[in-house]
A = this chain, B = another copy of it.
């Protein structure tokens, strides 16, 4: 599940959500995507989270509603959705997301 903050940065978060949704549709990706009002990392906006049952959660910041961020988010969301605990391998991390990681929380115990 890819969650994008819709209140980030005066409309840019909402724009990022829409761009990601459109690109997922264009690529016919079966990826669940939703918006969320505020994930409390406003100074690092735009922000997006990855979550899933039994998986680590990630929060990325310093994103923008542009093609680079959209492609990178769809890439890591697909990696996170693979079977397993959702840990993202550094070697497979899109260049755009090699900085801006704000938090990684363990699976619910």
- The answer to whether A108 has its CB under 8 Å from any CB of chain B is yes
| A49 nearest in chain B by CB position | B105
A59: B residues at CB distance < 8 A: 59, 103, 105
Rounded to whole angstroms, the CA-CA distance of A108 and B101 in the bound complex is: 20
**Residue of B101, B102, B106 touching A3 (CB-CB under 8 A):** B106
Task: Give the complex CA separation of A41 and B44 in angstroms.
Answer: 12
Smallest Cβ-Cβ distance to A104: which chain B residue: B40
Report the interface size for chain A: residues with CB under 8 A from the other chain.
Answer: 24
Decide: A40 and B108 in contact? CB cutoff 8 A: no
Q: Which of A28-84 contact B (CB under 8 A)?
A: 32, 34, 36, 38-41, 49, 51-53, 57-59
Beyond A39-B103, A103-B41, A103-B59, whether A108 also contacts B109 by CB under 8 A is no
